[in-house]
Amino acid sequence: MSAADPIDAAPTVSARIRPVLAGLRPQRAGVVYALILLVAVLVITTAAKGQPPYLSSVNVSNILSQAAPDAILAVFMTIVLISGNFDLSVASVAALAAALALKTIDSIGTAPAVLLALAVGAVAGTINALLVQKIGVNAFIVTLGSMTAVRGVVLIALGGESVTAQSRSLVTLDNTLLRVPPPVALAAGVLLLVLAVLRVRRITDATAPPLDGFFLALVAAAVLTLVVPVAAPAMLTQPLPVWLMLWVTVGVSAALRFLVPGRNLYAVGSNAQAARLSGINVDRYKMAPFVLTGLASAGVGLLYAGRFNSVDPNGLTGTELIVIAAAILGGTSLFGGAGHVGKSVLGTIVLFTLSNGFNVINLGANYQYVVQGVVLVAASAVYTVAARSRRRAGPPADAGRATAPRVPGGEPLSPAVSGS
């Protein structure tokens, strides 16, 4: 009887391909299509206007280094959103870290100033976490409050004026150019390709999970890593923040996918009650993202401080909204349990490409907010409509069952009570 049971049958290739193709649908890969479309429009427009090529290494590096700090924030914002929470305080915390670091760096030295900034970020995140999870105040309200209050602390600390430091170490942090030798990049590309091929070879292996969007991302990453060293070797030289963005994105998305805490984070965000009853420490998974985000915000604040070696009291205002918009563009659910950090980073890059494009083709910068807003709402509409039409396709919960239940007849029922 086992052979006839679909549960036991070896999966067919087509059944295994379907999830990969599903990963290509607009509601899953929408942010990728948006980026491709946007870049195509800009490339054609600049070419038609006789301007220098849009996709030059210089311009792309420019966009990447502008987007990098916000993209790092978007990664952590995505973690908070997956856990089912919300954090509006990231920009204020980053500004506070920047202000403190610049104010103290000349007197106490670089390392203590950096540690102080990071510690303040972690404390801010911990306060958010405690208020949300232990007291039970809504995360939106808590972080709206901490966003405002922390901004107030920045204003008090700076006395309403910008601050500048003599020390150049933060500037170095932001400006250091790192170059990956082309052979190293090629080797990394080959490695990614090998991983992808190994994964495809197990396509009909029932013990391997079906291929999905992550596989597509792997292939895309392999292709990019192989193409860039050949086509645009200049792109292999990037400032530290861009590499940081890349490492954080790769590291966090791998952790979310391959480690137990990653899986548990999605479980807690999807259904906290079920996670708790499964023995998962829900408090920990609801609180840790706030603390991590506070820490990361402080880190981004240091990058920001290094960019200009000065910070003014209203610096970074509005960044939290860009970051949340980026996560939403990347398809992250505001209700928790769903989201991919890589797509949030792409969302950030879309937003920065938009503003960069407006500058390049000399459309007034005033229009860019209108377009950003429209893009954001349009993206959400696509995701929402797609999710709804998928829900409709399934049978309702109380649908009568057509198949008779299969009693495990003569088979011994052998749940090992002594553990598996």
Partner 1 sequence: MVGARQTPVGAAEPPPPDGVLDVEQVGKTYPGGTRALREVSLRLRAGQVHGLIGANGAGKSTLIRIVAGAERPSSGRLRWHGEPVGWRTPADAQAAGVAVVHQQSPVAPALTVLENVYLGARAGGLWRARERQADFQALCASIDFRIDPYATVATLSIGDRQMVSILRALAQRPRLILLDEPTASITPAERAGVLGAARRLAATGVAVLFVSHFLNEVSEICDVISVLRDGALVDAFDAPDMTHERMVAGIVGDRLRDVEAAKPVHSAGAAVLEARGLRSARMAEPVDLTVRRGEIVGLAGLLGSGRTSLLNAIFGVDRRIAGDVLVDGRRVPCSPAAAVKAGVALVPEDRLAQGLVADWPIWRNISMADLPGLSRRFWLLNPARERALAQRACRELGVVAPSIDTPVKDLSGGNAQKVVFAKWIYKTQHLLLLDEPTAGVDVGGKADLIKLIRALAARGLGVLVVLSEFEELLSVADRVVVMNRGAITGDLAAGQTTVAGLTAAAGGLT
Separation between Cα atoms, residue 362 and residue 352, nearest integer Å: 15
Beta strands at 237-239 and 163-164: parallel, antiparallel or unpaired? unpaired
Residue 13 within binding range of partner 1, rule CB under 8 A = no
- Which of 156, 274, 321, 377 binds partner 1 (CB under 8 A)? It is 274
Cβ proximity of 322 and 336 under 8 Å = no
Separation between Cα atoms, residue 249 and residue 72, nearest integer Å: 7
Beta strands at 163-164 and 177-179: parallel, antiparallel or unpaired? unpaired
Strand, helix or coil for residue 297: helix
Cβ proximity of 186 and 229 under 8 Å = yes
- The nearer residue to partner 1, 370 or 416, going by C-beta atoms, is 416
Least distance between partner 1 and beta carbon 399 (Å): 5
- The nearer residue to partner 1, 28 or 103, going by C-beta atoms, is 28
**Residues in contact with partner 1, shown as a per-residue x/- string from 233 to 262 under the rule CB under 8 A:** -------------------------xxxxx
308: phi then psi, degrees, rounded to nearest 5:
-115, -5
Cβ proximity of 68 and 387 under 8 Å = no
DSSP 133: I
Residue 378 within binding range of partner 1, rule CB under 8 A = no
**Residues in contact with partner 1, shown as a per-residue x/- string from 178 to 217 under the rule CB under 8 A:** ----------------------------xxxxx-------
Residue 395 within binding range of partner 1, rule CB under 8 A = yes
Region binding partner 1 by CB under 8 A among candidate stretches 7-15, 151-159, 160-168, 340-348: 7-15
Site for partner 1 in 282-341 (CB under 8 A): 337-338
Separation between Cα atoms, residue 304 and residue 371, nearest integer Å: 26
- The nearer residue to partner 1, 46 or 253, going by C-beta atoms, is 253
Least distance between partner 1 and beta carbon 297 (Å): 25
Separation between Cα atoms, residue 341 and residue 74, nearest integer Å: 7
Residue 277 within binding range of partner 1, rule CB under 8 A = yes
Residues that bind partner 1 (CB under 8 A): 2, 5-8, 11, 15, 19, 206-210, 258-264, 267, 270-271, 273-281, 337-338, 393-408, 411, 413-420
